[in-house]
Amino acid sequence: MPRPFNLLYPLDTFYAAAGRPLPSAVRLEPEEVPEPYHRLLVPTHDMTPTLEAFHGDRIHLRVLDRRLEEAALCRLVDLVLNGQERPVEFGAIVIYLDPFPESAREALLEGYRPLGTILADYAIPHQSCPQAFLKITPDQFIADALNLNASPELFGRRNVLLTDRGEVIADIIEILPPV
């Protein structure tokens, strides 16, 4: 059965739980995403290694909110450059734990390494399948998470990661700060 599409899922679940209105977001066609965001967001690759290559540094997580719901780990996070402690992505993610080996599940629950790093470290076959591209006007919460003084338009994507068998292992919203 096809899954219903929600442009801002899973970000919307965190906002609903906090009683916050969602930020304004517009869906873009891939060709409408400007550079350098186009080359970071539009290809079907994992964001963590892409951002590490783009910024020339390793990345770790800063967990802003977290909950465990049955077999799913839900997190609101910043991806942060190790050497500078500067956020290079704000994201909301639901990770479905069942497809992961026990050791990878433990690493996910520790909450320090991004999912992309864990997928690489444990050689877990998967595919990144961007579902939509976004132009977002950040609210104060996102601006604070990304250390922004102003509220410029930001760009992001709604992404799904799948196993080789087509099982969903993660639903993700990935929002990039100005570069």
Least confident of 1-5, 97-101, 170-174: 1-5
Average pLDDT score, the chain: 93
Q: For the sheet with 24-28, list strands across it.
A: 24-28, 127-137, 154-162, 168-176, 87-96, 72-81, 59-69
Q: Tell me the whole-structure pTM to 2 decimals.
A: 0.94
pLDDT of residue 85: 87
Query: Residue 4 has what pLDDT?
Result: 59
* Helix, strand, coil content of the chain in percent (nearest 5): 25, 35, 35
Average pLDDT of the segment spanning 56-66:
95
pLDDT, tens digit (0-9, with 9 covering 90-100), for 14-51: 999 999 999 999 999 999 999 999 999 999 889 999 99
* Percentage with pLDDT > 70 across the chain: 97
Domain segments of the chain: what residues?
A: 21-176
Tokens encoding 76: 């609101």
Is residue 2 scored above 80 in pLDDT? no
Going by pLDDT thresholds of 50, 70 and 90, the confidence category of residue 70 is confident
pLDDT for 152: 82
Q: Which of the two residues, 82 and 150, has the higher pLDDT score? A: 82
| Greater model confidence, 151 or 136 | 136
Top pLDDT among 152 and 17 is at: 17
Q: What is the pLDDT of residue 1?
A: 40
Q: Which CATH architecture has domain 21-176?
A: 3-Layer(aba) Sandwich (3.40)
Kindly give, in sequence order, each residue whose CB lies less than 8 Å from that of residue 49, ignoring residues fewer than 6 positions away. Answer: 116, 120
Does residue 7 contact residue 22 with C-beta atoms inside 8 Å? no
Question: What pLDDT is stored for residue 80 in this prediction?
Answer: 96
Find where tokens 């990878």 sit. 104
